[in-house]
A and B are shown apart, each in its own frame.
Chain A
């Protein structure tokens, strides 16, 4: 079937100002992505995979301007955590604000540094995991990123990292349009925590490819910044080896459009992958979690825990899938997506899917949507808790399961305090 003209036209306009440069392995990977992208075109609202989120502002030729946001006196996320800081300003790495990128047990190279050589460890990851993640559903925005991103880091952990790496994304220009691509490789039995924080730009298209080798442990915690007008589409592609652990948690507070895609393959036996998210939105807030969890190895465990609190016309979307391939016996897969609608204008749109080709498995999913439980509220009030505080308590209790997925207590506490702050600022 001929590709719809609109998709091709959108692609031409979107990439007019971009170049897929580079030589050596990276240039080859980019050129491959350009060719793949030409066959796909850019997504439209008519695509099944975008039925609940209109990608127009992500595919437009130029980004919609986004006003800068002052967080006031709230400290930046993860400020109190001892981490190696790497700072991006409007999607461009800023060495002046960053720490020296040396860390025991970890090798850190920027994407531009790795260009020009013929052989690099990232050659087996950059664009490779992204390509694997294109079936059965196409994700052209990730391919766009592979083709044209010039900023990002290649991070390889060979042992347990001394401290987390904190990626900080500042937004200083109202028209910035960022493309950031990271590759992360954890060698056998290595351990690494990546923190991400900040809105990045008026529009950001991000890809993170993560290879977790056998027995390795990867933790990913991000806070997507409080800029109201930013638009973001992010992709995490992960391959999880035997006995390895992959954990990812995302906090989204505000932002008029966020689409977070996570495509995870459990390729070895006994692997564990948990993805979780807490999203709170008020007004023009559209938040979309799209997860594709594939079980290939035996006895693997996967969790998807997504909670959304919505008010004043905010929209929450969840598209999650557990795919259990033939032979992936003894799989334990669980998925929960819930929304709390604080008023009558908000919406929750969900498509939680199971696709299972093995019989000895335990898979379940649940999805609920509703208002704050009046009886619980009444109970708290009858015990003397003021209504507003009671509501906040109930909202935090609702979000607790997702925050519980964060292993590091200090980080979890940081996230919790941010949610409390948000609830205080957004009375209902």
Chain B
């Protein structure tokens, strides 16, 4: 345990040093784990859907649900409205299921998992041992800070930590495949109610072929005793990852959920199409934070993850609250719009985002705030940073329905351009259908302030350090919204993602 912790601490120190000295480290999670894998045959078909379902030992209703989604999907067209430019994806040239051989017989606990797999997570700085702390965070006074982790490796969940302690509080935290088997009543009641099967091309594909992901249930009146976290790792080549996360926060509950992702460096593009559904009932609150650090491809745009994600939270009852925070630094293509449906009266949605695109990366990301209930509030703070030849788009919708009286939205989108070959775009949709609500939208685009840079340089920083510092300042509003564990990682990530963008 101590070993893990020191190694992680060293990792953080090394990151800081890397940033300061602007070394050419670039993507630091680009290594792969050499491990024997079981693949389903390439491509997607009804047989593959059946195979995935049977591998997960699913009941008939789950298979039927998947097949219905698949039949819909084959009739759908891939959306191309985003400001993203990529060659056509061959959906038959991917593996839809890859599982480490050692996981053939499901281990009863993490202690039985192949040490090679565990080492992968240790190397990434993810504590799979209970009571281990995340990267460089001091335990708060008078108690230890705990994070429960669900580790997803390609198509399967390796295991979940702190299960017993969470169970004591009534919290269910497990892989979705396990939830389908063990809590079918909850899954059946909520799955697909926030992101329906027919929602969009990628969500429908996910509904058909999702292999694993996390499931969280917070019982009424329960404050989850620790942060929950899922760590996604794509390892196998030519394999798409399709995880599905379902979070249900019952009346008066609270949970803070973290999500992290990385993948090895490869020359081919890999597909990642996830769905996250969050159901929030009366007076409950969910905080969902993501640090997305998929492999972004090299300077010339070779390789990298294509990230097409549908995330949505449904504030189904009064005074429900959701907060999305995302730091998007990876992926060759990002297509992601975490949304809030503010159905209950007085419900609240918040969206804080940093999207960094460097080199040949392209990001089209933003949020939707659908105000249906009375006196609902939403706030959007989006910071886009473009460097190299990257294109970064904020795309968002704020919709005030006629019945959402006395509601409020504030949106701020700022873009920062570093270099004269990149692009920064803002595409907001604002739909106001009643007059007692106030909607405000502001957006600015600018470059890194010369005066601030000059000041930093005059204090002895080199240009790259100075830019990193100014950019971190630019992102401050969002970084502050992150849980502490992530804030530190994200801050370092901001600097690393911009390496090589200056001069």
Which chain A residues have a beta carbon within 8 Å of chain B's beta carbons? 48, 326-327, 329, 339, 341-371
Contacts and interface: CB of A to CB of B under 8 A. Distances in A.
Most buried by A among B421, B429, B430, B445: B445
11 contacts: A327-B420, A341-B435, A345-B402, A347-B432, A351-B430, A352-B426, A354-B425, A359-B419, A359-B447, A368-B438, A369-B432
A360 B443 contact: no
Contact of B426 (A347, A354, A361): A354
A48 B80 CA distance: 12
A368 B428 CA distance: 12
Contacts of A357: 422-423
Contacts of B447: 359-361
B71 interface: no
A51 to B, nearest CB: 8
Contact of B425 (A326, A355, A358): A355
A137 B422 CA distance: 22
Contacts of B422: 357, 359
B395 to A, nearest CB: 10
A211 B90 CA distance: 47
Contacts of B423: 355-357
A353 B426 contact: yes
Nearest to B419: A359
Contacts of B417: 356, 358-359, 361
A348 B445 contact: no
B431 A347 contact: yes
B2 interface: no
Most buried by B among A48, A350, A354: A354
A147 to B, nearest CB: 29
B435 A361 contact: no
Contacts of B436: 344, 371
A345 to B, nearest CB: 8
Contacts of A369: 430, 432, 437-439
Contacts of A358: 417, 420
A344 B435 contact: yes
A327 B436 CA distance: 43
B475 interface: no
Given A360-B447, A363-B445, A370 B437 contact: yes
Given A359-B418, A368-B441, A370-B437, A353 B432 contact: no
B445 A354 contact: yes
A353 B427 contact: yes
B445 A364 contact: yes
A359 B426 contact: no
A348 B434 CA distance: 9
B498 to A, nearest CB: 14
A349 B398 CA distance: 10
Contacts, number: 115
Contacts of A352: 426, 428, 430, 441, 443
Contacts of B442: 364-366
Contacts of B425: 353-356
A355 B433 CA distance: 27
Given A350-B430, A358-B417, A359-B422, 9 more contacts: A341-B435, A348-B432, A349-B430, A350-B428, A350-B441, A361-B417, A361-B446, A366-B443, A371-B435
A313 to B, nearest CB: 10
Interface string B68-101: 0000000000000101000000000000000000
A225 B461 CA distance: 62
B444 interface: yes
A349 B426 contact: no
B424 interface: yes
Contacts of A355: 83, 423, 425-426
A326 B419 CA distance: 11
A301 to B, nearest CB: 15
Contacts of A344: 402, 405, 434-436
The 5 A-B residue pairs whose C-beta atoms are closest, nearest first, are: A341-B435, A359-B417, A350-B430, A354-B426, A369-B432
Nearest to A333: B445
B446 A343 contact: no
A370 B438 contact: yes
B434 A365 contact: no
Nearest to B420: A359
Contacts of B444: 363-364
Given A329-B420, A355-B425, A356-B415, A343 B445 contact: no
B144 interface: no
Interface string B382-418: 0000000000000000000010010000000001011
A349 B432 contact: yes
Contacts of A341: 432, 434-435
A370 B81 contact: no
Contacts of A329: 420
Contacts of A361: 417, 445-447
A300 B422 CA distance: 20
Nearest to B427: A353
B440 interface: yes
B437 A349 contact: no
Given A348-B430, A350-B430, A362 B435 contact: no
A355 B440 CA distance: 20
Contacts of A360: 420, 447
Given A349-B430, A351-B430, A360-B447, A368 B424 contact: no
A342 B435 contact: yes
Contacts of A353: 425-428
B255 to A, nearest CB: 34
A370 B435 contact: yes
B433 A347 contact: yes
A368 B436 CA distance: 13
A368 to B, nearest CB: 5
Contact of B432 (A48, A339, A354, A364): A339
A19 B490 CA distance: 64
B79 to A, nearest CB: 12
B434 A349 contact: no
Nearest to B403: A344
A354 B443 contact: yes
Contacts of A370: 435, 437-439
Nearest to A311: B435
